[in-house]
């Protein structure tokens, strides 16, 4: 039981990590897109 809970926490942390990475990548992509549009 403790192991499965630990695994679930690890999976949630991994998903949050991936979400943050995607959000940061999207933010960089959007700023580059806006930069190329204006300049």
Euclidean distance between CA atoms 11 and 18, whole angstroms:
10
pTM of the model: 0.52
How many domains does one find in the chain?
1
Euclidean distance between CA atoms 20 and 27, whole angstroms:
10
Residues 6+ apart with CB under 8 A from 3: none
**HEC string for 4-25:** HHHHHHHHHHHHHHHHHHHHHH
The whole domain housing 25 covers 1-39
**What's the confidence (pLDDT) of residue 35?**
87
Radius of gyration of the chain (CA): 17
pLDDT digit string (tens) for 12-39? 999 999 999 989 999 888 888 888 888 7
């Amino acid at each position: 039981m403790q192991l499965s809970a630990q695994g679930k926490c690890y999976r949630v942390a991994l998903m949050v990590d991936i979400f943050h990475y995607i959000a940061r990548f999207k933010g960089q992509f959007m700023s580059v897109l806006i930069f190329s549009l204006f300049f």
